[in-house]
Amino acid sequence: MSKQNQWVVGVNAVASAIENDAEHVREVLVDSSARNPRLVEIEEQARRYGIEVRKVATQALDGIGGNVRHQGVAARYAAAKTWGEGELAGLVEAADGKALLLVLDGVQDPHNLGACLRSALAAGATAVVIPRDKSAPVNATVRKTSAGAADRLPVVQVTNLARTLRELQKQGVWIYGLAGEVDETLYGVDLKGNVALVLGGEADGLRRLTRETCDGLVRIPMPGDVESLNVSVAAGVCLFEAVRQRGS
């Protein structure tokens, strides 16, 4: 698991970081002029865990999270929980024949990535796999959007996605990619065993090598007058069909 310093901003993101991974929160900055009761709760929570809290001017918080609104609080976080690709096999093995993986082939919008992580955590997914390149990093925006999922769910970054999928197949994982133009539907495949659900990026969908590596391609039936779903919505539909089939 790799670790790096970064800032987490926003009330929910900071509270989640303290609650789920307090040992890696180095300090919390709180707007000295703010009157939000949630900030008082966060300050008290941080002090209970022995985390240093500093009251600062609003200007000191501006710009820390880039375009993310800080809402009067930020935390310096020393561990972005991204897992190495060498750890993925162990996660699958530990799932004992019921691994559920969400593979995102080039999701570049951090809000979409965060929403996908949130759905994956809610569905009890084993891990989320993302390519090291052509993907949004697990940054402050992702952490805030994921509502804590980024701190609690293994996110595995891999160098070569097609190679990783082939290694998963050797472990007995069935790989299903989502493609809108195919005949087979999501509801017609067995998702009860070791399964990886692969969704493409916002603009181009699955890349060619990714498509060719999948065991099968499926679509989400959409009788309404729309061509595609947002990737985070599609991820939720796919994950919870697996949940339904597994009787969870």
Indicate whether 1 belongs to any domain. Answer: no
Give yes or no: residues 117 and 225 share one domain.
yes
Give yes or no: residues 124 and 35 share one domain.
no
In terms of phi and psi (left: phi > 0; alpha: psi -120 to 50; beta: otherwise), the region of 205 is: left
Give yes or no: residues 159 and 194 share one domain.
yes
Indicate whether 89 belongs to any domain. Answer: yes
Indicate whether 13 belongs to any domain. Answer: yes
Give yes or no: residues 56 and 103 share one domain.
no
Contact 148, 119 (CB under 8 A): no
Tally of domains within the chain? 2
- Quick one: pLDDT at residue 229? 87
- Quick one: pLDDT at residue 1? 47
Assign residue 34 the CATH number of its domain: 3.30.1330.30
Assign residue 154 the CATH number of its domain: 3.40.1280.10
Whole-prediction pTM? 0.74
In terms of phi and psi (left: phi > 0; alpha: psi -120 to 50; beta: otherwise), the region of 66 is: left
Give yes or no: residues 234 and 129 share one domain.
yes
Give yes or no: residues 160 and 138 share one domain.
yes
Give yes or no: residues 86 and 69 share one domain.
no
Instruction: Show which of 77, 106, 134 is a domain's final residue.
Output: 77
Residue 90, annotated as binding a ligand = no
67 pLDDT band (50/70/90 cuts)? low
Q: Could you report the per-residue pLDDT of 99-155, keeping only the tens digit for each? A: 999 999 999 998 999 999 999 999 999 999 999 888 888 876 787 788 778 878 999
Instruction: Show which of 51, 77, 103 is a domain's final residue.
Output: 77
Residue 51, annotated as binding a ligand = no
Q: At 130, give phi and psi (nearest 5°).
A: -135, 150
- Quick one: pLDDT at residue 8? 84
For residue 163, the enclosing domain spans: 82-246
Give yes or no: residues 195 and 176 share one domain.
yes
Contact 175, 148 (CB under 8 A): no
Give yes or no: residues 154 and 127 share one domain.
yes
Give yes or no: residues 25 and 91 share one domain.
no
Question: CA–CA separation, 232 vs 34, rounded Å?
Answer: 33
Give yes or no: residues 181 and 195 share one domain.
yes
Instruction: Show which of 77, 103, 134 is a domain's final residue.
Output: 77
Residue 220, annotated as binding a ligand = yes
Indicate whether 175 belongs to any domain. Answer: yes
Contact 158, 132 (CB under 8 A): yes
Largest Cα–Cα distance of the chain, in whole Å?
Answer: 58
Give yes or no: residues 119 and 143 share one domain.
yes
